[in-house]
Chains A and B, each alone.
Chain A
Amino acid sequence: MAGSRLRGSAAIVGAGQAGIGDATGRSAFDIVGDATHAALADCGLKLSDIDGVFSATMVNSMPAVNVVEYLGLRPRVTEGTNTGGSSFLAHMQWAALALDAGLCEVALITYGSNQKTGAGKFVSSSEVVPFEAPYKPRYAVTPYALAAARHMHEFGTTREQLAEVAVAARTWANLNPEAAAKGPLSAEDVLSARMVSDPLTLRDCCLVTDGAGAIIMTRADRAKDFPKKPVYLLGVAAENWHRWVSSMPDLTVSAASRSGPRAMEMAGVTHDDLDLVMLYDAFTITPIMFLEDLGFCPKGEGGRFVGDGKLRHGGGFPLNTNGGGLSCVHPGMYGLFLLIEAVRQLRGECGARQLPDPKLALCHGNGGHWSSQVTAILGLGETL
C-alpha cells in the first residue's frame, strides 16, 4: 500500500497555541515562540531538543529559516514548502519521512501570524497573477464565490445550506474558551450580512485573526515516553492540480477527492471508523465540497447533507469542534489549528466541547484557491 511504511511511524507528542484571536503588541514570531514554548512544555522537551523545523507563511520568503533564527536553533532539517493553508498537514508527511530516515529526532511544525492586529489590515501575497489580475478578483473570496455559484447552479445547493455551516461552527465556538467569535448566530444573521462576493456574505467568510500554533513530532518508538497520549499519524496524502481558480478543471471537484481516499487507504480506515472530522473552512462552501470529495456524501449532496443541522454541537456529525476558521481562529493559514484541535480532542482535553472517547480523526487542509489538498488521519495508540 502506498506510503504504508510511514503508517503509525511518527506521532504528535506536544501541541501548543498562542495569541489566538488577538495578540496585540506581539509580532508573528513572538507568538510562534509562545506556541513553541507551550508545545515543548506540553511534552517535556527542551528547545535544544528540536533538530527539525517545518514552517511556512504568506509574508516571509524563507519562513522556516526565520523560525530557526528566532528560536536560536541549529536544526539538521529545515523544511519550508509552502502549499498555503494545507502546508502544515504536508509538513507532517515530510516530518514523518525525515524522522523515519533518521534525518532528525524531534520535529517542530509551527506557524504564526498577527494579521489582525499587527499589519492593521489583511495580509495577503503581493504576487501578480498575469491572467487574472486585469479582472481585479479579490483573493481569497472570489475563487470560492465562483465555486459556490457553480455548486448552486449544478446541484441546487442553497444559500441557507451554506449559512448552516457558519451557524453550526458557531455552536462549537460557543463552547470553546479560545474561540475568537462567540455569541448567537442565526441563518438569518448570515444571509443578511453584507454581501462580499455573491453568493458569499461576510458571515460565509472565515475570520481574520491573530494566532500561532506548534506541534512536536517524534518517531513512534519513543512517543510513549512522553506525558500525554501520543497521537499517531496513520495516513497522509497530498494532491495538487492547479494554482489559480481559472485553471481549476472543475469548480465543484477538488483534489481532496484523491487525497482523501489515499490517506484513508494508507491508514486502513473507513468513514464509519472516524470519530471527528476537521475540514478547512475558509468559506462556508469549503466544508460542503470537502464532505463530498472525501466521500462522506455523494457529489452534489453536500448542501443537503449539512442542511439538517447534523454539524451542530450535538447534531451527530462532529465537525470542526473548535469552531473552525469561521468562528475560532483564521490567521491567514489555518491548517495547523485544525490539527491541534484534533490532538486535543483525541487526548480528551476539550472541556465543554469534548467528544466522548474519540480515537480517530480525519483532518483536511486546503491551500491556495482549492489548489493544494492534504488529508491526514490521526489516531490514538489503540488504532495502530
Chain B
Amino acid sequence: MTAIPVTATGPGAERLWRDALAAGSLTLPFCDDCGRAHFYPRVLCPHCGSRAISLRPASGRGTVYSTTVLRRRPQDGGNLNVALVDFAEGPRMMSRVDGIPAESVSIGMAVEAAIVIEDDAPVVVFKPVGGA
C-alpha cells in the first residue's frame, strides 16, 4: 500500500483513516514536512502546522504505556482491559490488549496490532508479541 494523501478538499483525515482500516490497512498520519507522526488523524500537523499529511502503513508494533482493568460484573461483560499503547512510530492511542487476562496486561509489554470487527466496524486492538 502506498501513502494516502490527506488533501484540503474531499474526505477528511478521520474518514480516510477509517476507510483504509475497513480495507484492512492500519495506517498512521505522517507530516511530509517535519516527518513526525501523530494520532488521531488530522488535516494539519499538530507538531508543525503543515497541511502536507499522508497516511502511511503502520508497523503495528507498540508498547503498553499504561493499563487498567475496568471492573465489571459478569452480566455486564466482565473485566475489561483499557490500555494506552505507544506505536513504534511515536504516537499513542487508546486500545486494549486481547488474548490474555485483563489483569495480566502490564506497562512496557511489547504488543502488535490486530484489526477486529465490533458492532460492524473495524477496531484496532493489540496482542502480546509472539502470542501469549
A-side interface residues toward B, CB under 8 Å? 130-132, 134-138, 142, 145-147, 149-150, 153, 194-199, 244-247, 251
Q: Which of B70, B80, B92 has the most CB of A within 10 A?
A: B70
Given contacts A146-B82, A196-B70, A251-B84, 6 further A-B contacts (CB under 8 A): A135-B96, A136-B80, A142-B70, A198-B69, A245-B94, A251-B65
The 6 closest A-B pairs by CB, nearest first: A246-B94, A145-B68, A150-B66, A146-B66, A198-B69, A131-B40
Known contacts A131-B40, A135-B82, A245-B84, A142 near B68 by CB under 8 Å? yes
Q: Which of A134, A153, A194, A196 has the most CB of B within 10 A?
A: A134
Q: How many whole Å from A236's CB to the nearest CB in chain B?
A: 27
Q: How many whole Å from B37's CB to the nearest CB in chain A?
A: 14
B residues 65-84 touching A (CB-CB < 8 Å)? 65-71, 80, 82, 84
Whether A197 pairs with B71 at a CB distance below 8 angstroms is yes
Complexed CA–CA distance, A145 and B67 (Å):
8
Known contacts A132-B94, A134-B123, A146-B84, A198 near B103 by CB under 8 Å? yes
Whether B14 pairs with A130 at a CB distance below 8 angstroms is yes
Whether B107 pairs with A150 at a CB distance below 8 angstroms is yes
Nearest B residue to A199 via CB reads B68
Does B7 reach chain A (CB closer than 8 Å)? no
Does B121 reach chain A (CB closer than 8 Å)? yes
Whether B40 pairs with A130 at a CB distance below 8 angstroms is yes
Whether B84 pairs with A197 at a CB distance below 8 angstroms is no
Contacts A/B (CB < 8 Å), 12 sampled: A131-B40, A132-B94, A134-B121, A134-B123, A142-B82, A146-B82, A146-B84, A149-B107, A150-B107, A194-B71, A196-B71, A198-B71
Known contacts A131-B93, A150-B107, A245-B94, A137 near B70 by CB under 8 Å? yes
